[in-house]
Amino acid sequence: MHPPSHLMPSAWLTLPRATVRLVSRRLDVSGVNEDDQKVSRQIPLRDLDRLIVTSGITLTGPALAALMDEEIPVVHLNHSATRFLGTTLSPGSHHAPARLRQYELTLSPARSLPLAAQLIAAKIRNQRRLLQRLCNDRGHDSTTELARLNALHQRALHPGDAPELLGLEGAASATYLSAWARLLPSDFPFEKRSRRPPLNPVNAVLSFISVVLTNELTALLHAHGLDPALPVFHSPDSGRPSLALDLIEPFRPVIVEALTLDLFSRGMLQQQHFQPSEDGGIHLDPIGRQKLILQYEKRVQREFLSTQRQHRTSLRQQFDYAVTDFKSALAPPHDLSPFLIN
């Protein structure tokens, strides 16, 4: 269990067979850990922004009702926290006008393509900026990759159609990841992306962080009255939060790849933190997940001075801005201001 403090508004409950009850205006979490020791925590509702639970957790009716009353979303994951199952949240205020504009946007390639281009161009720009910074710090030569990413970024600003933009995004990711992989420790090699299932530790971490990040944006889209299934870049697919996948694109370099590199380069994750899974892949063990979650929370809550926004902010605040920015772009002039790395 990972109860929040004033520095951690997200509570992660991953202890199998734990029970969450309501005591006054606090969540009382009790269970038994891996050493058969009783564990108990209390989480004040006022300190909580979101609750993430794995499938072995039992939420009592009063606890769930209090969470909905406080408009605190509950994100449900499978037992290994590698797959999003759904979100429990209160209806909130009605957002019919925004939903109608969102449906119109999805049905109009002429309107959705410019928004998709802005998101992907920001992603490629951030890939280039992060790679440049990492290679400079480590003394690696990435001149060729940086030049190619710069050219792809310029083309992504004004694509001819959606298939061209998809091809540019794929080419940029291949270029970026090939250089990024050279920065990993030699005992954690990475050749290519594998997702379902991840076939090695690096892919396991990339996938886990992607799931966590997608869950955050999905909950925010619900909270702001938008439909997470209606994208501008990814293809709509039943049961997939495609719009959340769209909006996380500019954040991937600074969160997914940068955090993965930190976890391995600093020795926070070792081979013993990974285990084979029933689907033939490799996944983090409970201790590895705890380490990753702690570092993820530190990263997204850490404040920094954004030269783009001209004020101090955090990545988590920028997640919310990305959703409100998209909601505003549903109306004229239909323009986005995606997150950019300093």
Cα 74 from Cα 12, distance rounded (Å): 10
Q: Which amino acid is at 192?
A: K
Does the annotation place 234 within a ligand binding site?
Answer: yes
Q: Which amino acid is at 305?
A: L
Does the annotation place 224 within a ligand binding site?
Answer: no
Cα 165 from Cα 115, distance rounded (Å): 11
276 dihedral zone (left: phi>0; alpha: psi -120 to 50; beta): beta
48 dihedral zone (left: phi>0; alpha: psi -120 to 50; beta): beta
How far CA 338 is from CA of 141, 159, 284, 321, 329, in Å, comes to 28, 17, 31, 9, 11
| DSSP state at residue 308 | T
Q: Which three-class secondary structure state does DSSP give residue 200?
A: coil
| DSSP state at residue 198 | -
Cα angle 218, 222, 225; round to 5: 140
Does the annotation place 249 within a ligand binding site?
Answer: yes
| DSSP state at residue 2 | B
The pairing of beta strand 50-54 with beta strand 10-13: parallel
Selection from 84, 79, 85 nearest residue 275 by Cα? 79
Q: Is the dihedral of CA 318, 320, 323, 325 positive or negative?
A: negative
Cα 257 from Cα 119, distance rounded (Å): 17
Cα-flanking dihedrals φ and ψ of residue 284, to 5°? -70, 145
Cα angle 41, 43, 45; round to 5: 160
Q: Which three-class secondary structure state does DSSP give residue 318?
A: helix
* Known binding-site positions for Mn(2+): 169, 234, 249
* Known binding-site positions: 169, 234, 249
